[in-house]
Amino acid sequence: MPAIGIDGCSAGWVAVALDPPHASGFRIAKDIAGLALPEDAMSYIDIPIGLPESGYRGCDLAARKILRGAEARVFLGLRRPLLSHVNDYPSANAWAKADGKGLSRQAFAILPKIAEIDTVMSPDRQKTLRESHPELVFCRLNASVPLVSKHTPQGIDQRRAILTRHGFIELDLWLGALRRRQAKPDDLLDACVLAVAAFEATQGLARRVKCRDMRDAKGLAMAIWF
């Protein structure tokens, strides 16, 4: 069963396929359809799937506990009605405040991608296209210690070292190619580590953030796999 990790980038999405013991390649596409994900693949994607009408998702609160000290890397307050305001931050923030909690500009910036994935999701599709979070996977692979910020040279080096141990021996070539392909190094590294977790899931080693089971109005599970 193919394993794929997917992360958002400025050009759209970057996807990494993993065929242990080596990574088999990556591609960038402007939308999820352009990635042409195989129907039989296990894909882990860094985007919220399953949105409440109000309040916080239990999986986000539980994920923040895992990343204690770096909990801000997990966004809070993403709710389904916000998908009606994907192009208007003042409107989105006003609605969010009226619901009890304002919306950060960082969280607002990913609303279009959340909406894009939401349109293709169903409970059945969710069996093999699963929400994940690279910071949780990196933390687990680092003896449950959150890594230094990915926006620092030390953080990038930490991530590269972990990925090299997991079969990514061509990272230098891949990162060099990104200069021409509208994605940042951390986008690619995040997609790589999600591919690692997706592969583990194909081997019966799927891990899910422990929290109360919740489903949204579309029947989608609010769950983060890592």
User: What span, in angstroms and rounded, lies between the C-alpha atoms of 109 and 81?
Assistant: 15
pLDDT recorded at residue 169? 87
Burial of 79 (0-12, 13-18, 19+ CB in 10 A): buried
Neighbouring CB atoms inside 10 A of 207's CB total 15
pLDDT recorded at residue 142? 97
Residues in the chain: 226
pLDDT recorded at residue 22? 59
Phi-psi region of 196 (alpha: psi -120 to 50; beta: other; left: phi over 0): alpha
DSSP run (H or E) holding 25: strand 22-29
Residue with tokens 């069996």: 127
Strand, coil or helix: 223 = coil
Burial of 28 (0-12, 13-18, 19+ CB in 10 A): buried
Q: Contact at 8 Å (CB) between 201 and 182?
A: no
pLDDT recorded at residue 23? 64
Ranges of the chain whose pLDDT falls below 70: 20-23
Q: Please, which contacts does 178-184 make with residues 24 or more away whose CB atoms are closer than 8 Å?
A: 181/11, 181/28, 182/9, 182/10, 182/11, 182/28, 183/9, 183/10, 183/11, 183/14, 183/28, 184/9, 184/10
Strand, coil or helix: 196 = helix
pLDDT recorded at residue 133? 98
Q: Contact at 8 Å (CB) between 9 and 184?
A: yes
